Amino acid sequence: MMRGFDSIESMNGDELLVKRKKGSKKFVIGAAVIGVMFFLVGMLIGFFGHESEHAPSPTTTKPEVLDPTQLIIQNVDVNFLQTLLKNFSSKARIAGTESGSELANMIRDMWASSGLDNVHLSTYKVLLSFPNQSDPNKVELVNKTTGKIVFTSNSFEPGLTTEDQNKSFISYNAFSPARTVLGSIVYVNYGTVEDFQYLTQNLSIDLSKKIVIARYGIISASKKVYNAEQYNASAVVLYSDPADVNRDSERQSSGSAYPNSWWLPKGGIQRDTVNYDYGDPDTPGYPSTNYNLPIDPSKRALTKIPCQPVSYIDALILLSNLSGSVSPEHWHGALPIEYRIGPGYENNSEIEVKVTVNNYLDKRVIKNVIGMIKGSEEPDRYIILGSHHDAWVYGTVDPQSGNAALSQAVEIFGHLLAKGFRPRRTVMFCSWDASELGFIGSTEWVEENLQLISERSVAYLNVHSLVEGNFSLKAVSSPLLQDAMYTVAHQVPSPTKNFSTLYDLWLAQSKLYSSNEKEPSVSYSLWSGSDHEVFYQRAGVSCADLSFNFDFRKYPITTYPLHHSAYDNYFSYEHFNDPGLNYLANAPLLPFKVTRFSAALENFITDLVHNYKEIWGQNNVQYDQLISAAKNFTEATICFEKTLLSEKELNKKPLKLRMYNDQIMQAERAFLIQQGLPSKPFSKNIVFTQSNSEPSNEKSFFPGISTTMYNIKNGKSQWDQLKHQIYLATLCLQSATTQLSLPGTCN
Amino acid sequence: MMRGFDSIESMNGDELLVKRKKGSKKFVIGAAVIGVMFFLVGMLIGFFGHESEHAPSPTTTKPEVLDPTQLIIQNVDVNFLQTLLKNFSSKARIAGTESGSELANMIRDMWASSGLDNVHLSTYKVLLSFPNQSDPNKVELVNKTTGKIVFTSNSFEPGLTTEDQNKSFISYNAFSPARTVLGSIVYVNYGTVEDFQYLTQNLSIDLSKKIVIARYGIISASKKVYNAEQYNASAVVLYSDPADVNRDSERQSSGSAYPNSWWLPKGGIQRDTVNYDYGDPDTPGYPSTNYNLPIDPSKRALTKIPCQPVSYIDALILLSNLSGSVSPEHWHGALPIEYRIGPGYENNSEIEVKVTVNNYLDKRVIKNVIGMIKGSEEPDRYIILGSHHDAWVYGTVDPQSGNAALSQAVEIFGHLLAKGFRPRRTVMFCSWDASELGFIGSTEWVEENLQLISERSVAYLNVHSLVEGNFSLKAVSSPLLQDAMYTVAHQVPSPTKNFSTLYDLWLAQSKLYSSNEKEPSVSYSLWSGSDHEVFYQRAGVSCADLSFNFDFRKYPITTYPLHHSAYDNYFSYEHFNDPGLNYLANAPLLPFKVTRFSAALENFITDLVHNYKEIWGQNNVQYDQLISAAKNFTEATICFEKTLLSEKELNKKPLKLRMYNDQIMQAERAFLIQQGLPSKPFSKNIVFTQSNSEPSNEKSFFPGISTTMYNIKNGKSQWDQLKHQIYLATLCLQSATTQLSLPGTCN
């Protein structure tokens, strides 16, 4: 299946390089991202060592002369990537279905034939959620007196090209309970904490037993439902407003959307999962092995109110002619209506909304594919690369652009291995299942291997929606990895003509947003978005998630328009996106910069002081301890970096090297707190996480402190909670400080 | 203070050895224990490396020739030990009092002058419990009609020698609440789970609102109170039965006890703490730093019923003439009475018991003394030696015999350091405060440094009641350290004439108990008893606690008779115990034997199968998974030990060595479960821990499984709980297995 490896095996190294260099340059953007990822992997795994027992024949180029970085970069094969992408997204790859499982097997077979040391399926039987095919979910308008149905929403997305024709799948929100609810409707904008506060406090609207309609964006669907449940709403209807998914909204009925552009057409429907925490809802904290005992169903972290997504052409009908006041200006989307709030309809109090959800839960087997290359020097230190293979429908961007890149990586690494090159550290490749339903595959795997992952993992690098747009690199990362990304971005050629390196492009685009930027922008929002969450929040492993994004100034939207719709398929990818390829390798001292980490933390604390001036200093809260702990941490990081030996010296002292690296790894883990966030016990990083009820406009680092301060500012008396959160943050900073200060050093 | 170090400093190495060899051989027994401890420390810290910058002058013996083992052993100074012991126990050293604090300062000063790299006090303000000096606790007999007091117990122990004259302290049970309770009395033997079951099930006695009287022994005082509270008793009276503390009980009123023997005299009272979990009750899970927030007092893990200890001469009065049936034979102590059960008194229903407790809680500062020698090769790997310095009164055996040995160790290590010898790994010396009140000093310190301790500690070695008797070595240890103790016991001379080495003595004495024994007996009961608990249960560090015990066949008692009384003082120690000294050093591969560990676990599981034949195999519990996980672990340990390189080869490969050692350390930690035992969240080792309500006659390894099986056997339907516990144990075994199996090795 796919392109065989025979043709590669029969060539020698030089032929291979030449042939690959000739590969199509069509997909230049993906190449840059993959370039960063592979350079980074190279820095982390360490130079490939050549194994004498597998020495190449004398006729091939001397391996010692080959630059491993170039070796990898130049082996990227654009045609191969294209074939992978097309095959991966040729069917809907929904977790727990036959064609989803088929893809896992396909990847397993392909990886196994690539020559990795080990490839296996890691399977779990987990709780999944499916729509009822014979009795689809719907949102209706009903005359409550006559019982007459005056409108019914569409659950299917219409076929618009041969790629999606006759293959449509029912739209739903996974893990919404099956229920039918009747009530009057209220528009809640994006459904953020602030939106709900505005409705209930400023407008004094009672939301209990109301059906709320919210537009996708800003925060996750789960959080919208969580907020609605807090205010006792009876159901949630979600839709993608044209303001967020079709900016040519004046012409929304015309043909300007997909299949003619990347915009979501009027019948498109975005799916999403609405579970409140990640992983199998039946086994929080533990792996779903076949001998585990599920928790009581009433204790699952799932919503109790039904939720259903609709297209914006259907939302137009639901939102038209609402009664009540006109919503604030910034609540207005791009539908040709007034965006009133409700509840109910103007001059038509007979009409109510009826939400019918017929989803069902089912235990199904999911399959992660795990591949491994054993490290030559430090086999007990892991660099983990991951993507996922399950999709909402075809998922060409999300996740197959990332998943294809991962398989390309496996093939190249396997080939280099066969040629006798072995990385210093162990490399693991993971293609996760059931990621779209709450990162279930990755979570169960990390839960099963928690101690090992926590103890041994140097870094987890994730890709999923690798090519969302063609503007600039988007890096979500731990501060520890930030400088390493800059280093490698300097080495990767720019995918566009105006810049020499990717770094230049990245920096220039960052400056467009904030002219004072001196460095490319990196996001620290490691609390959600993809499979790195469990690695970061549970095991404390340094993480990065890479992609190419679109220009947010041009398109002020929070995700690419076809996201999670049936129209994210190979047709739209081929026409409106742009994959491609480049590459890496390096030395055994981890490229983590601890001063970057401490500087970031000091900044967050400065922001907190600034944002909550009126709270700071009241009520005997021990802020001083926190600030002084942060300063001590900064000093420790400076001292630590000063005392690091040069890499050359270190190569002579493998033990010293290992000790340095251990200190850095543990400094990252020092920020995990066992109990996690109050309402999210598995969100354990005290700095970089987010609660379900986080204010969306706040900088949300140190969420335990910032959310509590926000609540105090809004009149709640949570001083003890604030003291406890300050105490925990102080303890974590102290712990990180001691990790970097060996006894007797720097004091 | 004490003996200065000047006299040592002015000698050269040889003079020193000679002088010390001439030291008194009076205390030969302690010497053997200290010998084992120091040999073990030597094996763990690695050979002392000689630092060229501190090279001794050419006139001294060449350091390379000195055997570090002998160097340490022969530097033990019996006279110095004797002086320390006398000074340490010259006053009552109760935690949180002036003379307790004075001792901490004394030790700090002494250690600082010994030349360690760093010595400091680690202080915490914690919740302690004290008796009311002006209104002492008491147990009375009252005529409930007339209100007349017919008997009042003594709260003071009478002065019997110049060592204890006029210095007596009020007896109490720490953390008993202040309350006065009136009610009829019931005798409950040792107050075990089985004792209470017998009373309530076999005899159908309703214990609610009864005052129960229990004898000390078999289980901790806390557990007796915990059990009493489960059955709704209103108060607990504790006493030491002469059967357990004065076996010459026929002559109990004569002068055969202290000060004429080691037996507890009739007026002696054993103190104890009755808190339900270890550490500061105000800050479970977190250190009591000055900016921490105490939990709500109602949530402290403390008993709600009062508890008070009395002497056996007072217990005689309380137990005389009880009504009800005669208790079973094995409930009979050695008082000249019938040991009836009650409730209340025969032919005297007017008489009730009144328990008055006036204890008060107070926040006080406690002081741990922490000393450190930075390791030359692996400063980030710690060997920790600990004892405690607080005592119930004088505490010459408990803890000063151990605490003096620790200070002796500090002095010798400091001296060797000054001579230019530095251990490979970091050594920490810890003298804990407030250990008698629930290991508070050690717990707060580990809680403050949890990540560091967990990540870096190789082993924690504890001594406290170093010389309880003069029979044989008593070793409580993790199975991983067991073989290392055998190795060193072979190198230590026997303290008695009939044997050549301590190993021979230890083995011979073990065979007296069980003639089939092929090895000296070691206990794995690492769940209580001293300050190692928090290291083992929270941080997963391999631990050992060493002492010399008495002959249990001769004295079938569960602790030495003067334990926790005012008569455990220098007088009794000098007359009835026997301290002394010996020593060690070795190589950097940890002497941990992983096959020993897996063999122990397989044995426990075999025992479980045997003890619960009728339960095993029922109700779809996945025993097979557990058994196969245990077998896989055994295979992994065998493979791991096979693939270990020889020490000689390893010394050339510091990185490989470090990796092996990391694997072993992590295999120990693999058995920690985050949530801990259901009722004891900080007891986290799934194999070696014990719940508050553990049946006392059961082998209590894997307590989650064994207690649940016991409950099922006794009619409770706890199948889901059993399945969950089996699942957790299986996961831990799998985790330990993967820790020992590097990718690609042994499979």
Asked if B663's CB is within 8 angstroms of A742's CB, the reply is no
Facing B291 at nearest CB: one of A293, A372, A730: A730
A327 — pLDDT class (breaks 50, 70, 90): very high
- Which three-class secondary structure state does DSSP give residue A306? coil
Quick: pLDDT tens for B452-483.
899 999 999 998 888 787 778 889 999 988 98
Q: How many CB pairs under 8 A join A and B?
A: 123
Please report residues of B whose CB lies closer than 8 A to that of A662.
Answer: 380, 455
CB A392 within 8 A of CB A271: yes
Element (H, E) at B443: helix B440-448
Please report residues of B whose CB lies closer than 8 A to that of A731.
Answer: 286-287, 289, 448
Asked if B117's CB is within 8 angstroms of A739's CB, the reply is no
Asked if A735's CB is within 8 angstroms of B451's CB, the reply is yes
Long-range residue pairs from A639-646, CB within 8 A, at least 24 positions apart, any chain: A639/A740, A639/A741, A639/A745, A639/A746, A640/A594, A640/A740, A640/A741, A640/A746, A641/A593, A641/A594, A641/A595, A643/A745, A643/A746, A644/A589
Please report residues of A whose CB lies closer than 8 A to that of B289.
Answer: 625, 727, 731
Asked if B743's CB is within 8 angstroms of A293's CB, the reply is no
Q: Does the CB of A125 have a partner CB in chain B at under 8 Å? A: no
Please report residues of B whose CB lies closer than 8 A to that of A669.
Answer: 451
Task: Give A651→chain B minimum CA distance, Å.
Answer: 11
Facing A655 at nearest CB: one of B285, B658, B730: B658
Task: Give A743→chain B minimum CA distance, Å.
Answer: 6
CB A398 within 8 A of CB A565: no
Facing B291 at nearest CB: one of A455, A655, A727: A727
DSSP conformational letter for A202: I
Please report residues of A whose CB lies closer than 8 A to that of B735.
Answer: 449-452
- Which three-class secondary structure state does DSSP give residue A106? helix
By C-alpha distance, the chain A residue nearest B721 is: A293
Residue B68: pLDDT over 60: no
CA separation, residue A640 to residues A485, A594, A738 (Å):
21, 8, 11
Q: Does the CB of A451 have a partner CB in chain B at under 8 Å? A: yes
- Which three-class secondary structure state does DSSP give residue A271? coil
Task: Give B178→chain A minimum CA distance, Å.
Answer: 28
Q: Which amino acid would we find at residue B488?
A: V
Please report residues of A whose CB lies closer than 8 A to that of B450.
Answer: 735
Instruction: State residue B97's pLDDT score.
Output: 96
Asked if B730's CB is within 8 angstroms of A293's CB, the reply is no
Quick: pLDDT tens for A631-666.
988 988 888 888 877 767 776 778 888 888 888 888
| Cα separation, A163 vs A149, whole angstroms | 34
Asked if A378's CB is within 8 angstroms of B655's CB, the reply is yes
User: Which tops the pLDDT comparison, B191 or B559?
Assistant: B191
List the structure tokens of B206: 């309703």
Quick: pLDDT tens for B259-271.
888 889 999 999 9
| Cα separation, B609 vs B604, whole angstroms | 9
Please report residues of A whose CB lies closer than 8 A to that of B455.
Answer: 662, 666, 739
Average pLDDT for chain A? 84
* Span B417-431, average pLDDT: 88
By C-alpha distance, the chain B residue nearest A663 is: B380
Kindly give the interhelix angle for B98-113 and B401-418, rounded to the nearest 10 degrees. 20
What percent of chain A is helix, strand and coil (3-state, nearest 5)? 40, 15, 45
Instruction: State residue A60's pLDDT score.
Output: 44
Task: Give A347→chain B minimum CA distance, Å.
Answer: 55
Residue B15: pLDDT over 70: no
Asked if B727's CB is within 8 angstroms of A291's CB, the reply is yes
Which parts of A177-246 are beta strand (E)? 179-183, 185-187, 211-215, 235-239
Please report residues of A whose CB lies closer than 8 A to that of B292.
Answer: 727
Average pLDDT for chain B? 84
| Cα separation, B62 vs A340, whole angstroms | 93
* Span A332-341, average pLDDT: 95
Facing B449 at nearest CB: one of A448, A730, A738: A738
Asked if B670's CB is within 8 angstroms of A674's CB, the reply is no
Asked if B738's CB is within 8 angstroms of A666's CB, the reply is no
Concatenate the DSSP letters of all residues of A465-508 into one string.
Answer: S-BS-SSEEEEEE-HHHHHHHHHHHHHSBPSSTT-SBHHHHHHH
CB B431 within 8 A of CB B386: yes
A141 — pLDDT class (breaks 50, 70, 90): very high
ipTM (interface pTM): 0.84
Asked if A663's CB is within 8 angstroms of B658's CB, the reply is no
Contacts of A160 (CB under 8 A, 6+ apart): A258, A259, A265, A567
Interface of B with A in 662-721 (CB under 8 A): 662-663, 666, 669-670, 674, 720
Q: Does the CB of B743 have a partner CB in chain A at under 8 Å? A: yes
By C-alpha distance, the chain A residue nearest B743 is: A374
Instruction: State residue B7's pLDDT score.
Output: 33
Quick: pLDDT tens for A399-417.
998 999 899 889 988 988 8
Task: Give A453→chain B minimum CA distance, Å.
Answer: 10
* Span A432-454, average pLDDT: 95
Element (H, E) at B408: helix B401-418
Asked if A286's CB is within 8 angstroms of B727's CB, the reply is yes
Asked if B286's CB is within 8 angstroms of A674's CB, the reply is no
| Cα separation, A48 vs B287, whole angstroms | 45
Asked if A744's CB is within 8 angstroms of B117's CB, the reply is yes
Facing A654 at nearest CB: one of B655, B669, B738: B655
- Residue A635, class by beta-carbon neighbours within 10 Å (0-12 exposed, 13-18 middle, 19+ buried)? middle
By C-alpha distance, the chain B residue nearest A623 is: B291
| Cα separation, B76 vs B69, whole angstroms | 12
User: Which tops the pLDDT comparison, B199 or B615?
Assistant: B199
Asked if A289's CB is within 8 angstroms of B727's CB, the reply is yes
Quick: pLDDT tens for A61-84.
444 434 555 666 677 777 888 889
Task: Give A90→chain B minimum CA distance, Å.
Answer: 35
What percent of chain B is helix, strand and coil (3-state, nearest 5)? 35, 15, 45
Task: Give B95→chain A minimum CA distance, Å.
Answer: 26
Q: Does the CB of B285 have a partner CB in chain A at under 8 Å? A: yes
Q: Does the CB of A747 have a partner CB in chain B at under 8 Å? A: no
Q: What is the CA radius of gyration of chain B?
A: 26
User: Which tops the pLDDT comparison, A474 or A528?
Assistant: A474
Quick: pLDDT tens for B134-188.
999 999 999 999 999 999 999 889 888 877 765 567 899 999 999 999 999 999 9
List the structure tokens of B69: 């083992």
Q: Which of A451, A458, A732 to mutate to test the interface with B (most CBs of B within 10 A)?
A: A451
Q: Does the CB of A659 have a partner CB in chain B at under 8 Å? A: yes
Asked if A666's CB is within 8 angstroms of B374's CB, the reply is no
Asked if A726's CB is within 8 angstroms of B291's CB, the reply is yes
| Cα separation, B324 vs B377, whole angstroms | 69
Q: Does the CB of A296 have a partner CB in chain B at under 8 Å? A: no
Interface of A with B in 372-401 (CB under 8 A): 372, 374, 377-380
Quick: pLDDT tens for B568-614.
888 787 777 643 322 222 345 677 888 888 888 888 888 888 888 88
Asked if A662's CB is within 8 angstroms of B380's CB, the reply is yes
Q: Which of A63-67, B16-20, B77-81 has the highest mean pLDDT?
A: B77-81
Interface of B with A in 147-176 (CB under 8 A): none
- Which three-class secondary structure state does DSSP give residue A305? coil
Task: Give A672→chain B minimum CA distance, Å.
Answer: 10
Residue A532: pLDDT over 50: yes
